[in-house]
A and B are shown apart, each in its own frame.
Chain A
């Protein structure tokens, strides 16, 4: 009988590069920047690592298809290294590979690294690329903002809300993330903005404007994992932080192809509900709104964050507009969401994002979040989404104090 991984894997240390338009460095440099911090934090050297997982999504951009670039960049001691990719949920996939290896008892100390070097394309937004020879024959030539904008039209229709009210709540989400990132020295976008800025910005994919879209950034983030016993032995003065749950759900085509009685309504993310429910069960969370003390969700677009609040049980169905406008998810609210600025402002180097989310929980648990430190965090949630609302990967992790 499978027993899951709750409290079987501890975080020994974490690192995160500065995110942004890193014209100054390549992917190797970003990985080294993140790893140097994590190694110092964990008190280990590259020579002590027994296995490594590299998450990178658009390997066409500079890094190649294997885990070789990670091994080269850190001069790893010829250990097992594996490259993983699961669209924008790649970072969590790297963490998952590493965590399950420790939980299985195969290794004592492992590395999960996520990196993406996006800003070598010459234009804004994600790189344009093929969806495969057969899909290209019929799938629309859509962009990520276009695909996620679909959520807004369907949500407004499903809950019979005025698009203007929804748009206002979306604006408030972006204002909040900018305010949080202003306090984060590693964030890509650190300017504060107003609701009016959001509402007046150029349309990218209706109703999403420029400020409804996350930053496209370069960056890397990583975690060094071990067992709780080793973590305690190596850092007796530090509270042990463990992984409570790490769940992934992948669309099977129903959302995009099935229009029968139980069809997807287009107004939320089904896999987020699935992965969230499994993660809550694994972590023993029965009241997410109360038991989750902070969340870093995949706010690639403001509307994504909005619908996820309902999908993850942080807001009642159809109530997110009210919750957002009441400040529930602000840094001082009942359930702070994106205290580090989120994808929106910390930035979104695809392969790194899932690990960057965990990095913020790690800092908050240790009281190292500086000006954005939250008052009370025992347990945090990350939600990392790859793909588009109708066909995607959702990864949910819950990380907290050992025993929490």
Chain B
């Protein structure tokens, strides 16, 4: 492989943008410990900070969509030719998750989409492949994880829910490929059989000694050798490690300076599984100086290693906010489907989806498309045959227009304690969009007492309903308050 000087980096093939997304709720680990310390006092050592938890209406697809929307916003004019969604916790085994996400992000229908998964290195492997094989058009790589750990397990403390993403293609690259290496090995540090909720793992000391220090280290060393780069010149070493102090040991063995070891953000969110390598890379790129060499590793059934060189191009887009502290462990258990609470008969409604109607309205559902009247310009939702403007009423004039990225405000609202929702109260109201359009909408991630007439809103793509009888879920857009810090 050729290496590129900083001078050549602009308008070349490389990483054009990265991002990470964390759900708003952050469960205090002390609240987890409080429930388990009677039988698992050893968790105390991990009970620091907060872990991110998906709200009841967030899954791998919705979190990937948020990451994807952040990337598309960061790169105006970028129209991906390929979308890959990586995860070990995809909601659908057969219904392409990437196709759901791509449609919601607004990626053209002729883009190539695929799901990948099965290991914590799934996303890094995809990033390497995209960097090694320049293709026509940008590649949108999304990765998200919502793993459910058994209560009182170490994983429950360590895991976080969240997403990350990257765009690879020709342009103002933030980082370029220097070298990469891979290895596969059926080294089973943990596993989760298809259809099972929880991981089963082996002794940590063995995972460290035989896994990270031998298998991972070997792949990382080969990557450095391929790049002709001395370990001592690595400015940032990025590798998810669910075990404490493993990265320091790997760095020492490789000869990477201890100061280069990137933090894992354990106290701010937790380990995002297959999304963690890209999430850490996103943080690192934002901190790295032009010319810095970044070594990225991901371990799981082998190891992927990637050596990047940072350019001088600034990183577009923002970073996740501080979120909102959550202290209810029971809420987490319920959101993650690990406890069956009494929701009353109102929760018994059959949410079967008419797939014919869902396809007929897929623009409305996926892209929040309403109609803009060609005669008077009125934006309306839903798109209909006759214009809703009483001064117009033109028929057959409406063109599809997406409300997904339109700013909006509350016209009226309530917090409804009667309606069934997995997170009472059910908050909804009329929402007016800037530039036109009014929709009766559910509010997501909204605190009781926060709603008021005129409150600024933005739209998020969420699970609208679960059909537990048939194992289906449908998605739609919800409104959430625009806040400064999260």
Interface residues of A (CB under 8 A from B): 121-123, 125, 128-130, 133-134, 136-143, 145-146, 149-154, 156-157, 202-208, 252-254, 256-260, 262-263, 266, 390
Contact = CB atoms under 8 A, between A and B. Distances in A.
B349 A146 contact: no
A266 B411 contact: yes
A146 B440 contact: no
B118 interface: no
Contacts of B413: 150, 153
Given A137-B464, A157-B453, A146 B426 contact: yes
Given A140-B440, A142-B428, A207-B414, 17 more contacts: A133-B354, A134-B357, A137-B353, A137-B361, A137-B364, A137-B365, A138-B382, A141-B465, A146-B419, A150-B414, A153-B452, A205-B416, A205-B417, A256-B430, A256-B440, A257-B380, A257-B438
Contacts of A139: 440
B426 A258 contact: no
27 contacts: A121-B345, A123-B345, A130-B350, A133-B357, A134-B354, A136-B353, A137-B476, A141-B420, A141-B421, A142-B426, A142-B440, A143-B418, A150-B413, A151-B412, A152-B414, A203-B417, A204-B416, A205-B415, A254-B390, A257-B381, A257-B384, A257-B438, A259-B379, A260-B378, A263-B432, A263-B438, A266-B412
B436 A260 contact: yes
Contacts of A151: 412
A205 B426 CA distance: 9
Interface of B: 344-346, 348-351, 353-354, 357-358, 360-361, 364-365, 378-382, 384, 388-391, 411-421, 425-426, 428-430, 432-433, 436-442, 451-454, 464-465, 474, 476
B389 A260 contact: yes
B411 to A, nearest CB: 5
Contacts of B428: 140, 142, 146
Given A141-B419, A146-B414, A253-B388, A259 B425 contact: no
Contacts, number: 155
B400 to A, nearest CB: 15
A123 B439 CA distance: 30
Given A137-B353, A260-B436, A149 B364 contact: no
Contacts of A137: 353, 357-358, 361, 364-365, 464, 474, 476
Given A134-B361, A137-B353, A137-B358, A258 B414 contact: no
Nearest to A252: B388
Given A137-B357, A259-B436, A149 B416 contact: yes
Contacts of B451: 153
A101 B351 CA distance: 41
A122 B451 CA distance: 32
Given A138-B365, A206-B425, A123 B346 contact: yes
Given A125-B418, A137-B464, A390 B430 contact: yes
A389 to B, nearest CB: 9
Chain A to chain B: the 10 pairs with minimum beta-carbon distance, closest first: A146-B416, A133-B354, A149-B414, A157-B453, A150-B412, A205-B416, A154-B412, A140-B428, A259-B438, A266-B412
Contacts of B420: 128, 141
A253 B389 contact: no
Contacts of A154: 411-412, 430, 453
A204 B417 contact: yes
A252 B387 CA distance: 11
Nearest to A150: B412
Contacts of B358: 137
A171 B358 CA distance: 43
A29 B196 CA distance: 53
Contacts of B378: 258, 260
Contacts of B381: 257
Contact of A153 (B350, B353, B391, B414): B414
Contacts of B436: 259-260
A254 B388 contact: yes
Nearest to B393: A252
Nearest to A391: B440
Contacts of A205: 414-419, 425
Contact of A141 (B345, B354, B426): B426
Given A140-B442, A254-B388, A266-B430, A128 B453 contact: no
A153 B380 contact: no
Nearest to B362: A137
Nearest to B355: A133
A145 B378 CA distance: 31
Contacts of A260: 378, 389, 436
Given A141-B465, A150-B429, A206 B415 contact: yes
Contact of A256 (B418, B438, B442): B438
Contacts of B354: 133-134
Contact of A258 (B388, B429, B441): B388
A403 B155 CA distance: 82
A218 B353 CA distance: 32
Contacts of A150: 412-414, 429-430
B464 A138 contact: yes
Contacts of A153: 412-414, 429, 451-453
B344 A123 contact: yes
A152 to B, nearest CB: 8
A150 B379 CA distance: 23
Contact of B345 (A122, A134, A140): A122
Given A253-B388, A254-B388, A138 B425 contact: no
B395 to A, nearest CB: 14
Nearest to B476: A138
A140 B425 CA distance: 13
A153 B453 CA distance: 7
A262 to B, nearest CB: 6
Contacts of B348: 128
Nearest to A145: B418
Contacts of A134: 354, 357, 360-361
A208 to B, nearest CB: 8
B243 to A, nearest CB: 43
B358 to A, nearest CB: 6
Contacts of A262: 390-391
A58 to B, nearest CB: 14
B428 to A, nearest CB: 4
Contacts of A204: 416-418
A254 B390 CA distance: 8
B104 to A, nearest CB: 14
B388 to A, nearest CB: 5
Contacts of A149: 414, 416
Contact of B419 (A142, A156, A258): A142
B167 to A, nearest CB: 30
Contact of B418 (A136, A146, A157): A146
Nearest to B416: A146
A119 B384 CA distance: 38
Contacts of B429: 150, 153
B138 to A, nearest CB: 31
B345 A258 contact: no
Nearest to A204: B418
Contacts of B411: 154, 266
A27 B197 CA distance: 48
